[in-house]
Amino acid sequence: MEKRKLGKSNLEVSALGLGCMGMSFSYGKPADRDEMIKLIRTAVEKGVTFFDTAEVYGPFTNEELVGEALAPLRDRVVIATKFGFNLDPTGKEKWLGLNSRPEQIKAVAEASLKRLKVDAIDLFYQHRVDPAVPIEEVAGAVGELIKEGKVKHFGLSEAAADMVRRAHAVQPVTALQSEYSLWWRRPEKEILAMLDELGIGFVPYSPLGKGFLAGRFDSQSTFESTDFRSTLPRFTPEALKANQALVDLLENMAKKKHGTPAQIALAWLLAQSPNIVPIPGTTKLARLEENLGALKIELTAADLSEIERAAALIEVQGDRYPEHLEAMTYR
């Protein structure tokens, strides 16, 4: 498995990680726990060393799953988790608003350490910027955890460029995790150049557009009420139909490269920078194997130009999140 370092840090991970959220949260009924433990361990056998979770996924159950699955393999993996929400301990509500006060960060770290069955959290992200808490205080709190040996690296998620700079000035930021794919390219505006300048790694989540870029859906697709995508403007029948042109683009290149649309979407991301480590999620072994196959696909400069020319002609339809969720990003 190809390895990559996240920015200028010494944190080396597999070029593709595994996003574990969907195993417990957001995409309908949680998958079978034993099967997911087996899937996670199989991913390690196939060379994956980077696993992504968060306390809010469940809440709590995804960290517990990842912790149990990776406990026998701890010395072979890097585990990332996140803080930043007030969570309902009864589980009736997914979250009760943002909370990145220093005391909350430290309490979350202690709880996550236990659920993950680790002595130190490899990468600890602020899940969303909390406007009520200066980012310098957040960075300082994580810095204290690093000094105590409870956290190894500090990360941010969906933060704006100026917020990353402010945090990085207090405590070096190892990675920024934000959505990035052929159908969400906002990071290209100012984020990618800033990360390169500061030597910070980039971890794109939803690199397959929540399954859309893999060619899994069309305008006839429907989603259960427990599936997060049922609330997303980009997954309405009208938007799915309009955005099919992106999948067609990927399918055309996939035929040329003897791959699949998902593999081309991931290979495209990997080709954007050696500083990028996507974390596609899945609950199926076949999809895991398919995603890892992207590492064998080489997109030439001519291929990338062809994709860029075709993508430039496509205007993606539909907002990625409802307004109240989008408001928590890029601030």
| 64, 106 contact by CB (below 8 A) | no
Q: What is the mean pLDDT of residues 313-326?
A: 96
Return the pLDDT at 283: 97
Of the ranges 93-97, 202-206, 226-230, which is most confident?
202-206
Tens-place pLDDT, residues 211-220: 999 999 999 9
Question: What are the DSSP calls for 223-278, one per residue?
Answer: --TTBGGGG-GGGSHHHHHHTHHHHHHHHHHHHHHTS-HHHHHHHHHHHH-TTB--
Return the pLDDT at 91: 63
Of 57, 125, 180, 205, the catalytic one is: 57
Q: Look up the pTM and report it.
A: 0.97
| 4, 13 contact by CB (below 8 A) | yes
Return the pLDDT at 35: 98
Q: 8, 2, 5: which is closest to 195 by C-alpha?
A: 8
- Determine what percent of the chain is predicted with pLDDT higher than 90: 96
Tens-place pLDDT, residues 29-73: 999 999 999 999 999 999 999 999 999 999 999 999 999 999 999
Structure tokens at 281: 């999620």
Return the pLDDT at 220: 93
Q: Is the pLDDT of residue 326 over 70?
A: yes
Return the pLDDT at 92: 63
| 195, 163 contact by CB (below 8 A) | no
Is 22 strand, coil or helix?
helix
Instruction: Name beta bridge partners: 176.
Output: 156, 202
Is 57 an active-site residue?
A: yes
For residues 331 and 327, what is the distance between their CA atoms, to the nearest angstrom?
A: 8
Return the pLDDT at 150: 98
Q: What is the mean pLDDT of residues 296-308?
A: 98
Q: 84, 141, 146: which is closest to 121 by C-alpha?
A: 146
Tens-place pLDDT, residues 76-102: 999 999 999 999 876 666 678 999 999
Return the pLDDT at 95: 74
The overall average pLDDT reported for the chain is 96
Tens-place pLDDT, residues 149-160: 999 999 999 999
For residues 271 and 226, what is the distance between their CA atoms, to the nearest angstrom?
A: 34
Tens-place pLDDT, residues 240-269: 999 999 999 999 999 999 999 999 999 999
For residues 163 and 180, what is the distance between their CA atoms, to the nearest angstrom?
A: 18
Return the pLDDT at 321: 96
For residues 248 and 162, what is the distance between their CA atoms, to the nearest angstrom?
A: 36
Return the pLDDT at 89: 74
Residue 75: phi and psi, rounded to 5, are -75, -5
Domains of the chain: 3-213+273-296 (3.20.20.100)
Tens-place pLDDT, residues 117-172: 999 999 999 999 999 999 999 999 999 999 999 999 999 999 999 999 999 999 99
